[in-house]
Structure 1
């Protein structure tokens, strides 16, 4: 399974993770794994009152993402079928650290590590990032009603959290390539050249993943 392509796309809310995952899935004929977002019954309440609804929201996401990863492991990766996901489960810790009070975070962290201990790990990461203005513009453009009450200050903190996390991820996982895409400079939804550039970068890394698998 180590050589089976498993790509995870990460970045702040509204940055274009699902759009890019769909395009990569279509181009390479990979199975598309989409995170469950709007089905979370606590999310609207969370954006209105983060402190009150954070634990319920984060636990719902964690349990659903655990189930999704369990399914793709047994139904796809273990059968040598490639996967591209519009999230990495470690995003749960990014959000939990930001939203949960200390006592609840400690409980959450224990549950997280138990559930994710044996989960499949992506062998490629794509990190989408952009300025706050670009993120706010894209959230507005896609028009999800539950996201319209997100505070810009929360998004700014979240973007910094992602930046810190990805820097840490590269240090902790030097063998997992990270492709960084600046959303202020590239719009792969509107411009084919930008998408082609990303596809080319993915191609290069896929060849490296395959080569490492052959060596291993």
Structure 2
């Protein structure tokens, strides 16, 4: 692990990334980085007509996440302050591959690599996954209007895309530990024991580097 902890939490829409990031940031006293979602002016239209609004939606997310990571690098990581984020910017490619037609994806991919080639990389990943029923239940519980028009087929494809992505991530980045959390078995929002179990896993990886301390 790098000297300064930079933890990213990933998983499908509605799985509980932000809830877990908030709880861990409080426990470890790390800065919380939350992705911009509802501020995206194209998102509602995207869920109604993916083909028509996918490029605008993905570009908005990419530019905003790039700006967030740029700020995090200079204001926190380079100042020796630990960060926990409720996303990893590489998720952009998961969504882009699923939603963009090939010609637009080619353009998007070029821009993505230009923007992210020197961005800070997390030194720990937490991957939340669950069955489609559990994901839908959590989406309904948080009640975002813009997400209610999502198709089950899109969400199921996205969940599988995440599984494939994380399997590949572990192969390509063996130096970055990945903690996998089964959302069907653990509910860290309702049950403190489940949250404690996750905290212990994170601590075990953090303690692998004696230079790491709370900030």
SS of structure 2 residue aligned to 1:56:
helix
Measure, in 1, the Cα distance between the counterparts of 2:30 and 2:152.
Answer: 34
Determine the structure 2 residue equivalent to 1:48: 48
Long gaps (5+) in structure 1: none
> What is residue 149 of structure 2 aligned with on the other side?
149
Instruction: Name the CA distance, whole Å, in 1 between partners of 2:210 and 2:122.
Output: 16
Aligned match of 2:64? 64
Give CA deviations for 1:15-70 in whole Å, capped at 9, x if unaligned. Answer: 00000000000000000000000000000000000000000000000000000000
* CA-CA distance at 1:207 after TM superposition: 1.2
Deviation of 1:3 after TM superposition, in Å, equals 1.1
Partner of 2:101: 101
- Give how far 1:159 is off: 0.3
- In structure 2, the residue matched to 1:6 is 6
Return the alpha-carbon distance in structure 1 between the equivalents of residues 135 and 167 of structure 2.
20
4+ long deviations beyond 4 Å: none
TM-score (norm. length: structure 1): 0.97
| C-alpha spacing 1:212/1:95, structure 2 compared with 1 (3 Å) | farther
Aligned length, in residue pairs? 212
Give, in whole Å, the separation in 1 of the partners of 2:152 and 2:143.
16
Offset of residue 2 of structure 1: 3.0
**CA–CA separation in structure 1 for the residues paired with 2:211 and 2:172:** 18
RMSD: 1.1
